[in-house]
């Protein structure tokens, strides 16, 4: 998910529900990036991946 292992799960005395609430929408930016890359790849394959050519 992009967070270090134990970021929320190693906090003492948090229930699973509290852990999920603490995470909130933290994954949304990563999901959005993946979705945009997939859409760009379909629309214009050369835009979806960075070009290293000068």
Residue 50's pLDDT is 62
Q: Please count the CA atoms within 13 angstroms of the CA of 5 that sit on its side-chain side.
A: 0
**Whole-structure pTM value:** 0.45
Q: How many helices and strands in the chain, by DSSP H and E?
A: 3, 0
Burial 22-43 (b: 16+ CB within 10 A, else e): eeeeeeeeeeeeeeeeeeeeee
Domain ranges of the chain: 1-46
- What was the pLDDT predicted at 8? 82
pLDDT tens-digit map of 4-47? 788 888 989 999 999 888 888 777 777 888 898 898 888 876 66
The confidence score (pLDDT) of residue 2 equals 66
pLDDT at 17: 92
Q: Give the three-state DSSP class for 54.
A: coil
Encoding tokens for residue 30? 């990563």
């Amino acid at each position: 998910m992009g967070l270090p292992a134990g970021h929320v799960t190693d906090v003492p005395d948090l229930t699973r529900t509290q852990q999920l609430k603490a995470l909130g929408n933290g994954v949304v930016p990563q999901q959005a990036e993946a979705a945009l890359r997939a859409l760009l790849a379909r629309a214009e394959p050369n835009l979806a991946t960075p070009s290293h050519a000068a």
